[in-house]
Amino acid sequence: MGSCAGLYGRLAEREGNDSEPQAHSLDNQSAHWKNAVGFWILGLCNNFSYVVMLSAAHDILRQEQTSRNQSHAVLLADILPTLIIKLLAPLGLHLLPYSPRVLVIGICSAGSFILVAFSQSVTISLCGVVLASISSGLGEVTFLSLTAFYPRAVISWWSSGTGGSGLLGSLSYLGLTQAGLSPQHTLLSMLGIPALLLISYFLLLISPEPQNSGREDETETAARQPLIGTEASESKTGSSWDLSLQERWTVFKGLLHYIVPLVLVYFAEYFINQGLFELLFFRNTSLSHAQQYRWYQMLYQAGVFISRSSLHCCQIRLTWVLALLQCLNLAFLLADVYMSFLPNIYLVFLIVLYEGLLGGAAYVNTFHNIALETSDKHREFAMEAACISDTLGISLSGILALPLHNFLCSLP
């Protein structure tokens, strides 16, 4: 009996030991999916609020019969705050911990909804645009730099979420207003979006594993802790807290071979979107001018979403090829606007979808490549610094696209 008891005891001990790796594996899988879903929601909410609010601002400006100069003011309020934030972020944003930044993002996002919903003047509407721009710009810098402390797979999830926001944001606003809700009630109904962003960050994301931890039990403990109440991700170890200005400049110069192509991609695609979409008008179709424009925007957003979600099956190292192809897209469509040689709108539909695919692929692959090639110490700063690429490209395209649009409209 004693030997049987000993045998059963050893079997029970072996089963207990075997269950430990299984439990650890389940914990890791749970943390992986929580982080994946968390970053997807963060990407969705960060850009969703911006897309919806900007559409509403344009509706209100149209109701107030604004001039073209005031429409240009919307574009300025849309891009300037984000540009300033992204220019200054690599210099000192790391001094502010992540949690307060996320609170500011949520407050600005909610504030943009409320201001535009109750707007009685162009000035208030523009203030709402500014708040949305601050929320979106600060959010992109914050969450992309936060990916430096997580497995690289979260970059794909974040990018997919931002791609989905273009489609879901525009469709939800259009759908609710078409269903009979006023722009004001539509905006107020979407105040849950900033709340969802805060819930995703504070309650869903799992604190990243300490990068300098050599003891497995500490790592396991950290992997089970939610971000709220912990600042593991804000540890100075492995972050950009201790980088000198010289180190920052050296890292930034090393990023230029990724930053420049992404700037060119966004310059070309937003030149197309801002300057050419309205001029690509076909009369041999049942679609009205406004419907054609909406189809262009929808197909573009669909292409962006598909390619930003494609990192698991398609990874591209030579992002300058994407920049070259996007510039060829711009040249081709510009030539068609001037000479009108395309026979029907369906060819333009394919080109616009292709434009979105190129833009989304350039975004997700640029940040994935940066994560691959930078050290743990430099990765957070590198992500912050590279964020300027898309906004700089959009700003440059806005400077040139609007005058060219007016010039082409003036041609006989």
The region, left, alpha or beta by phi > 0 then psi within -120 to 50, assigned to residue 229 is left
Burial (CB count within 10 angstroms: exposed 0-12, middle 13-18, buried 19+), residue 187: buried
Place of tokens 């494609």: 310
Phi, psi of 346 (to 5 degrees): -65, -30
- In angstroms, the CA 241 to CA 246 distance is 13
Per-residue DSSP letter, 242: T
Indicate the residue type of 206. I
Angstrom CA distances, 53 to 104, 138, 181, stand at 17, 16, 15
DSSP 235: -
* pLDDT reported for residue 214: 38
Which residue positions in the chain have pLDDT lower than 50? 1-3, 7-8, 11, 211-237
Give the DSSP per-residue string, 288-320: -HHHHHHHHHHHHHHHHHHHHT-TTT---S-HH
Cβ pair 99, 143 in contact under 8 A = no
* Per-residue pLDDT at 410: 73
Per the listing, tokens 């890292």 go with 251
Q: How many residues does the chain have?
A: 412
Closest by CA position to 137, among listed 384, 327, 350 = 384
Identify the pLDDT of residue 327: 96
Q: Is the pTM of this model over 0.95?
A: no
Which neighbouring-strand residues pair with 195? none
Minimal CA–CA distance to 157: which of 47, 368, 309?
309
Q: What is the pLDDT of residues 224-247, one digit of tens each?
A: 344 443 343 444 445 566 788 889
3-state secondary structure of 226: strand
3-state DSSP assignment of residue 206: strand
Please report the pLDDT score of residue 67 as a whole number: 52
